[in-house]
Amino acid sequence: MSHAMLLETLDTGAVWSVARGLARNVEAYKKHLADCDGPRRNDLDGRGQLSEEALAEFTRFFLRVCIDQVAFMETLVQPDRLRTRIVMWAEEEFRLGNLPPKSCNILEAVLYRGELPRADAAGVVGTGDRQARRIVSALIEKGVLVSDSARAPLRLVFPATLASRWMPGLFPEKTSHG
């Protein structure tokens, strides 16, 4: 339930999950949950039948687990270096002839803004609408930009095929046993 509520509230795209942290601390998690079902400990332990102190302890535990998981993901994703890795990938794709010039400009704009209205694309790359549409189409074909419709804003996506380039360490590398 916590995972579902945080996923909806934080809109993390399922990259971050409290479930991992709770699974790593399963004994403490179960103990805190059981304690929450315990009766009031004394007259200072809330007004209901159950222990308010235990609920407060569970809440502190849960929030510590959340903070620990955010810190863990930050070390894997390295957001301060994410822009550099995405730009390096786009520049390499341009040199290989797989992306048009100025594709980096669009990616950076979407990265910084969160989304880019299609009408702003030409201004971002400093070209006409036709060239901007060509760049956007190439990035969509590469699977790094998405849009809900032909007129909806552009959003950055993190395709699994680029996970090791854009976010090294996020997924364990496959090893061959030959």
Whether pLDDT at 6 is above 60: yes
Contact 48, 54 (CB under 8 A): no
Q: Which of 23, 52, 77 is the last residue of a domain?
A: 77
| Neighbouring C-beta atoms of residue 2, cutoff 10 Å | 13
Q: Which of 56, 77, 98 is the last residue of a domain?
A: 77
Residues 110-169: tens digit of each pLDDT: 988 889 999 999 999 998 899 999 999 999 999 999 999 988 999 998 888 887 888 777
More confident residue, 176 or 16: 16
For the segment 85-105, the average pLDDT, to the nearest whole number, is 95
- Pair (154, 117) in one structural domain: yes
**Residue 158 covered by a domain:** yes
Give the per-residue pLDDT at 177.
56
In this prediction the pTM is 0.63
Q: What distance lies between CA 30 and its chain's CA centroid?
A: 28
The tokens for 1 are 């339930």
For the segment 24-36, the average pLDDT, to the nearest whole number, is 92
- Pair (33, 68) in one structural domain: yes
Contact 58, 65 (CB under 8 A): no
**Residue 175 covered by a domain:** no
- Pair (6, 70) in one structural domain: yes
Give the per-residue pLDDT at 120.
94
Looking at the chain, the whole-number percentage of residues with pLDDT higher than 90 is 49
* Torsion of the alpha carbons at 144, 150, 112 and 135, rounded to the nearest 10: 60
Q: Which of 35, 53, 77 is the last residue of a domain?
A: 77
Give the per-residue pLDDT at 5.
77
Domain that holds residue 44: 2-77
Task: Provide the 8-state DSSP code for 17.
Answer: -
**Residue 174 covered by a domain:** no
**Residue 177 covered by a domain:** no
Contact 106, 142 (CB under 8 A): no
Residue 101: pLDDT band with limits 50, 70, 90? very high
Give the per-residue pLDDT at 9.
77
**Residue 141 covered by a domain:** yes
Q: How many CA atoms lie within 13 A of 11 on its CB side?
A: 1
- Pair (13, 28) in one structural domain: yes
Give the per-residue pLDDT at 170.
67
**Residue 173 covered by a domain:** no
Give the per-residue pLDDT at 175.
58
